[in-house]
Amino acid sequence: MPKVLVVEDDRDIRNLLEVRLCGMGHRVVAAGSTDEALTVLADRGAPDVAVLDVVTPGDSGLELLARLRQNPAYAAMPAVFLSARVQESAIVAGHAWGATYLTKPVVLSALAAAIDRALETSRPAVEGW
C-alpha cells in the first residue's frame, strides 16, 4: 500500500484528498502546514510520494521540498505540487525539483496518474508508515 503525505492548508481540500487517495488504496497522512508536515516526517520517515500545496502557512510547498531535498532521507522522494495559482516561476521551480505540477481545482484522475507515475520511478519508503 503506497504511503502518501498530503500537505494542504485548506481543510476541505485536505479531507477530500485524504478520502479519495485512501479510496484508491493509498495510506495517507495529511498535514495542514509545512511545520506539521515536518513533524509527521520526523515521526514517520519518508513517504512514497508527497502531494504538496504550493501556498501554505509558513514555508511554501516549494520551500518545503527544497529543504527536504537537502536531507538524504528525502532527496529522492517524489512530489506532486498542487496550486490554485498558475505562475510560470512556480511551475518552473516545481519541475526543477523533479516534481509534477498540477493546478486546482485538481482533476482527481490527473492526481492519481501523477502519483502512479511518481511511484513507478521511486524506491519504496522505509518503516514508519
DSSP annotation string for 9-77: S-HHHHHHHHHHHHHTT-EEEEESSHHHHHHHHHHH---SEEEEESS-SSS-HHHHHHHHHTSTTTTT-
For residue 84, tell me if it sits in a domain: yes
pLDDT at 103: 87
Which position has the grid cell 521551480?
A: 93
pLDDT at 129: 58
Neighbours of 84 (CB within 10 A): 13
Element (H, E) at 96: helix 88-96
For residue 127, tell me if it sits in a domain: no
CA-nearest of 26, 84, 27 to 60 is 84
- pLDDT band for position 125 (cuts 50, 70, 90): low
Which position has the grid cell 503506497?
A: 2
pLDDT at 127: 53
For residue 126, tell me if it sits in a domain: no
Q: What is the CATH number of the domain that holds 67?
A: 3.40.50.2300
- Tell me what the mean pLDDT of segment 7-32 comes to: 95
For residue 14, tell me if it sits in a domain: yes
pLDDT at 120: 87
CA-nearest of 45, 98, 43, 40 to 69 is 98
For residue 30, tell me if it sits in a domain: yes
Residue 38 lies in domain: 3-120
The rounded mean pLDDT for the chain is 88
Number of C-alpha atoms within 13 angstroms, CB side, residue 53? Answer: 23
For residue 15, tell me if it sits in a domain: yes
| pLDDT of 5 higher than 90 | yes
* Interval 28-85: pLDDT, tens: 999 999 999 999 999 999 999 999 999 888 888 999 999 999 999 899 999 999 988 7
> What is the distance, to the nearest Å, from the Cα of residue 100 to the centroid of all Cα atoms in its chain?
10
Number of domains in the chain: 1
- pLDDT band for position 128 (cuts 50, 70, 90): low
For residue 73, tell me if it sits in a domain: yes
pTM over 0.85: yes
